[in-house]
Amino acid sequence: MRNLVRGAVTAALLLTGAATLAGPAAVDAQTAPGTFGTDAISSTVQVTGGNIHGAARDQDGVLSFKDIPFATPPVGKLRWQAPMPVRPWKGIRDARSYGNRCWAQPVFEGMGLHPVLKQDENCLTLNIETSAESVNEKRPVLVWIYGGGFEFQFGEGVQPFPNGKALVKKGAVLVTFNYRLGVLGYFAHPELDKEGSLSGNFGLMDQIAALKWVKANISRFGGDPDKVTVFGESAGSHAVGLLMSSPLSKGLFQRAIGESGSFWENEHGSICTRATAFAQSAALMKKLGVKNIDELRALPPDKLMLETPWDLTTDPAVTAFAPCEGDSVLPKSPASAFMAKEQNDVPLLAGWNAFEGSLFLSRMLPHANAAEFRAAAAKQFGQARMPEFLKNYPADTDAEAKSSAAQLIGDLAIGAQTWEWLNLQKATGKSPVYGYEFTFTSPFTPIPAHTAEITYVFGSLAPQIFTPPNVTPGPEDRQLANLMTSYWVNFARNGNPNGPGLPQWPEYGGAGTSVMQFGKTTGAITELGTSRYRFIESYRINGRLPEAWRKTE
């Protein structure tokens, strides 16, 4: 897999459980008790379930708390169940070290993106960083949702990217958390439905449970439970769009930030249906030779992961276990929910990077030569519409076809739906909308690739997938990080990214209007790619892209 990712990098460049003092017990509700009769925040805090002890304030005055349970571990009979309330513990829980990470596909193992932490189903914990000194400060809360195709953990709470000290020092309380992935997070089956709520989308249920925990407890860390912003990148950004679409997350956040993704759509069309999820689960049970859910639950999690492999060469929305519509979490497709004005109407800030196709080049339409690309495009988009297609994705020469194929996969996997998210919220919502495009390059960030903006948003300036060896951030990188952290915290605080000393970021006015460009200079520009995105949008009927696309080879 290391070679696969390095190959993608090369092609893109060419194109251009912690310990407790006692065991757990049952609990009936998630409520937030008080903090020892004082308003001061120390390294010991009382939360749902009991007392926790985090790391002492560092030299910047930042307190950190790790491995805080927000739900009962989903093990045994609780595998493939909605997250259950936290069980209380006795004594003081050590919250100074990261806990287990959820089981994930090993897509990026060995590349420095995963620390050596135990994978375990007992992983539903969160981490908090705050520099507040009093519970009364009501600071804005940023809740990060990591990406990774709902299959692996890219930038979770134990990674360099969410080293959120820059955001915390600017006045935010930062929360990161784990959620179930792959087959453990998105297995749906009629037998499970009989056990309670509709099965599937357990990973999204985990996200909602984490947000409920935040609402109940974040004031103990100086955060404002009524000023919560969810933000994420890639699958994390898709998750933000899904949460805005879900009736179950209503009132749990007041702002939304999406970095590259929105509706969990890809080159094969819209998010899968419940029927597709059932068929996928039945096929797995047949493959494993199990007769019922009890036998499936008896299998170890590593076997389940090994039997459901996924890597960057395939579309996870088709070949992996991932979110689907048709249950109480997502009653309908996300785009349909927005079109029906049923979304959680909160201020939205969202955007995409100039070269989103960077990690998805192995999934491009065939393009060995211009004729092959044109033939593949005609098969997917229809021969009658090829003149319009070729205006947006020209293919007069082999080189032009290769460039257009890379542009197209980035648009289908990320760009078009993120653009449509902005436009649907603008058209059907009442809250303000802000759009951006990330075009920045430097020796540290040689291409504006998928994921490239994360290190600037967090201000950590940690090396990225595309950072060349032995290259460190320069002054231009630090300047951009300072701008982006300021905008993100301002938006979390006010629902508006603007603030003193920052270039003015105009509200998004709809297709073809102004977005903020984060590039060699930062400022408002007329959005790029409008014609391409409108072309893809035109294929949507009743909120869904063509079902035939899911069968496209």
Of 401, 407, 345, nearest to 378 by C-alpha is 401
DSSP codes joined into one string, 140-174:
EEEEEE-BSTTTS-BS-TTSSTT-THHHHHTT-EE
3-state secondary structure of 273: coil
Of 396, 398, 410, 397, nearest to 364 by C-alpha is 410
236 C-beta neighbours (distance < 10 Å), count? 27
189 included as an active-site residue: no
HSE-CB for 515 with a 13 A CA cutoff: 25
- CB-based contacts of 310: which residues, under 8 Å, 6+ apart? 105, 107, 149, 151, 182, 316, 319, 320
Handedness of CA 444, 447, 451, 457 (dihedral sign): positive
3-state secondary structure of 491: helix
How far does CA 350 lie from the centroid of its chain?
12
Q: How far is Cα 480 from Cα 519, in angstroms, rounded to an integer?
A: 8
Total residues belonging to the chain: 553
β-strand pairing of 92-94 with 50-53: parallel
Q: How far is Cα 429 from Cα 431, in angstroms, rounded to an integer?
A: 6
Beta bridge partners of 296: none
53 included as an active-site residue: no
273 with 325: CB under 8 angstroms?
Answer: yes
403 included as an active-site residue: no
DSSP codes joined into one string, 326-366:
SSSS-SS-HHHHHHTT-S----EEEEEETBGGGG-GGGSPP
Long-range contacts of 249-253 (CB under 8 A, 24+ apart): 249/207, 249/208, 249/211, 249/344, 250/344, 252/208, 252/211, 252/212, 252/214, 252/215, 252/228, 253/143, 253/211, 253/228, 253/229, 253/344, 253/346
18 with 95: CB under 8 angstroms?
Answer: yes
Of 212, 284, 285, nearest to 251 by C-alpha is 212
Structure-block tokens of residue 435: 């759009």
213 C-beta neighbours (distance < 10 Å), count? 26
Structure-block tokens of residue 143: 């809740």
3-state secondary structure of 406: helix
β-strand pairing of 92-94 with 514-518: unpaired
Of 232, 229, 231, nearest to 492 by C-alpha is 229
3-state secondary structure of 509: coil
319 C-beta neighbours (distance < 10 Å), count? 16
399 C-beta neighbours (distance < 10 Å), count? 10
- Name the strand (E) or helix (H) holding 176: strand 173-177
Phi, psi of 515 (to 5 degrees): -130, 165
Q: Which of 450, 453, 460, 486 is catalytic?
A: 450
Q: Which of 325, 356, 437, 453 is catalytic?
A: 356
Q: Which of 199, 234, 245, 260 is catalytic?
A: 234
The residues annotated as belonging to the active site are 234, 356, 450
